[in-house]
Structure 1
């Protein structure tokens, strides 16, 4: 059996049972807004926010608000 290492198991929306798609999404967080690529359900628009985003860009927004 030849297994392709590039293949990944798709993310499936628990609510809609649709495969999530990588899309450009506008995010509003603590009064700051920015666009990022996130996995999003094409039907209900639910997104997955990964740890890198939560601890990176969102942390920057929090820091910017604290500095004001």
Structure 2
């Protein structure tokens, strides 16, 4: 992967993390609505994992 792809992965990871956090907050506000049944914890985990992977890869790209 090059730097551009890594930055896209980092942005996608941060977006998923933010969406998961906001979805979790919305679930606590309205526990019986349609969005309360979506897997917000899994979405947030995927976002954090993607952002962490991109950060480590970006660090390794810039170190060389």
Fold-level similarity (TM above 0.5): no
Structure possessing the higher relative contact order (Cα contacts under 8 Å, 6 or more residues apart): 2
Give TM-score, length-normalised by structure 1. 0.27
Give TM-score, length-normalised by structure 2. 0.28
Higher helix content, 1 or 2? 2
Bigger Rg, structure 1 or 2: 1
